[in-house]
Structure 1
């Protein structure tokens, strides 16, 4: 190791005094004849260290990383923290500065060799060679330096080919790959040499036999393709074993030395290549069958303790004939933990699902197998189902209880039966209601059974309550209204005992067909039967002590209406208007009708209107009289002599259309009693003059004139 030093006493930037610096390098790198360090292009870097002496220590420290380094000519030599790298041929001065001190050293950059030369067979290689594929090409590289013997640096050099599709090179040995031109380059320590290769094929074509298409059926023996090369001179040569064979789809067919092995149905291209010539043939791999089917064909469920399931496989040949291939097919299970399969016999092993596949000569088909745990009891999540004719739904869920206490859904593996198939049938996992009635539907599995009742009803259209309003006395029970269902066919049925009731608030409760009021309010009661509903308004209130109607009697004409006001008096003394809340009935439906609290007369007659509320009733007499339309006198005018008399007739015309003689019932008056008098229609003439006679009946008046001469 050589050291160049400079020492003094100068304070450094740190809290110590630098007393000197020195350069340290390997003596091997120093050329005494040129008094310089030597670095070589594309060779290892030369390392120079900078050591600093300080006043605080007797040991010099390496400050290479902290010093400032410079090169007088970076085109020749570069320096980085004491690492010298040769860039170009020449000389540069390297300086290192630290703590106010600077050290310099001369560095010479050069090539290891003056030149390198590619050799062939020990002689300098030509600039270019024409070569044929298949011929061996070996080159070496010699390092040349003035004043020294040439050195073989073949294995040390870097060899490259400008076109790897034409040729590759490794340590001077060239492998010809394809037709074309490439440049081989050998490079070492900044020097390089090249040689051009023009590569041609010794053959002009390659033919395959068969020529364009090879068809193979799955299951057939391997087929061989022959490769025949034609030389540039016209002679032929079989090169099947020498050629390189490739397939465009190894999933369809593989090839080795011309031997084609079918793998799966499909199409691929087989290519043979030999010394620059190639040829391709289409290969089609077919199946000898049209299709394959399994029996059972759809997904299958089985218990863990079930015996094995035998699946059969059949194929249809291209000719149309069927063949059982159960034992010839290849059988696989996608999950061997769940089930195994041998020659189509599936053996359950654990709970789960697996896919069983049968394959033969390029075709395959699969079936999903689900294995359920063994169960000790079956339960159905519904005890009964209400439905209507022509309705269909999915069968209810069936659960199985296992030995370990777990529950498994076994709906897919139970066998369903119907006690009366006239009422309902089962198909494809659904029940269908066919006729009105009741029947029992049973699920069975390995001797275990569970049932539910299927009730097929006439299709309901509407629910009709016997009343739409109720008065419920606080603290007392009241029977709920009866409910009638009107069915689609027009029939009616009392379903009071089958309907379910619900109150809209907790101010009333429904128990055992009765409603009990708890607190004064308006509550809606909803009755439900077969998904149909109807509502009743319930007024929860105090007990009514007395009912008073106004008017107390009704006198009407046919077609005339009149409202009745009813006042109820609670036991507390409070009163309430109940007119429209009353339950009204008329003694004769032909006499009158009642809507709300309004009575409308229909025909002449008499009867009574009865109203009830909270069990208390009142009666209002109804009299319907015909309505007077007009009065008609038998004479419009008379001429009488004094002392003469004449009897008039008075006719009442009613809206009913039947006239009535009311002569004796009317009130008769004369405006001049001195001329004539009248009584019950009889006129007596007294003296000359004229008088007006009037008859009045039921609010209507008619008059006539009497002249006495």
Structure 2
């Protein structure tokens, strides 16, 4: 009985367990006889290769069952082996980067996979232009374009390119635009996916030199005026431009000295380096700012020279406010009370004539006077000709030579001197100097251990000589530059303005200084230019310059219907005055109120008008009021 009870309990437990299993197990698995077997497969039209940068493509997957074929693309679970190469979403595949990746689709526990290759549509990347690029600092930028060479042939512009410069200090690049910054070489590189291209860029300065008006080192004193330094740019063809205001100026120590557009201002004792920079070039000037100077002292209290002699300028030192002694020779400005006895030339005192003068050394606001006395000595030789310009084979008479003797006497020693040519290009014989070969040379006259040199320039023969104009009208005190072009027999052209010998038929009307014609008086003159055996004339007419117009009456008041005659005089810079009433142009701002003809003013109607007179480029005006 007890055993039966135990078996009954066991049966009840097994039955309950079986019912639980059936309840929990998926119905489809229990009723296997009701399921349908399916097979998952790829669509035969699915792509296996995509171009990077191209459009996404759709993969399809089919479920094959006994009931037929079903597109389960949207139902399947999709996985990309590497989403950095290829992204997949419900079968839609999007290329991201070059590579080969496996795509897996799973449907109802069945899995299929395929390999997709992502490749570039281009065989290579190239730049346009591809040749080396030459840029200049401060010049225009250069636009580069990245092009892809298609695998099927041809090219197309590529977007989304990454641009880099190997040396951004020389040139930068942004979206292919290359901007030059500093002198040097850089490589501009473009990359797109795994493709790369590059070109070389040379950045040069548009200048060959930057020149400062002051160089080396300079001492200044506290409290002294600012120093103005100019900067000159010398371009690649030798042309010069003042860039003082456009150059970049810096001071290494602004506490000691500041600089702005070349103006250096001392601020405190110490040292600073002033730098000017322009188009990649730079120049420096060392500034030593010293404490205020209390007094100056000279190495010589006085100087005595003999005529014709020379001596170095004395050394000058400064006692500073802090008690220190400083040599300031390079900062001294020298001047003479008179140059009749002594002159300053190339850092030397040169005795000219017996007499005396005061030599003054100036440093900042302080001055120091040094007496100078000149006594007689043996004098020099002088030649009547400053230089010769000859054609090969041409002769000219030797110059007159005079000896300036002690005591003031002057002797003609032309026949006593011995002549030599300084080179084989010229010879001196029988009172003639003869040009033998082309080039620069000279002749030297020797007499009593003294000598004088005369330069000789041997040139080619001129075939024609042509001035820039053959006549000109000028105003008194005006000037006009003249350019002379010469053509040598071998065909070479040259500007000879400075070499032409100028004469004037009337020095009271026009003269020539250098290559500029000066109008000095009223009248006509003929300017003649001569070079070698060629000459030409330029006719000059000098007339007075009109300064102003003067009306006989201003601020007219006329009754209606009346008239009044005005006159106008032209005043010239020569002091002459001429009545130009009939020649001037008269106009009224309101002809309905006032009419004017040749100076005659007619009052037409009440009101006000302005009368303007024009003559020779000058204008004068007055007001006219018509009363009832």
Give TM-score scaled by structure 1 length.
0.33
Between structures 1 and 2, the one with greater strand share: 1
Between structures 1 and 2, the one with greater helix share: 2
Which has more radius of gyration? 1
Give TM-score scaled by structure 2 length.
0.37
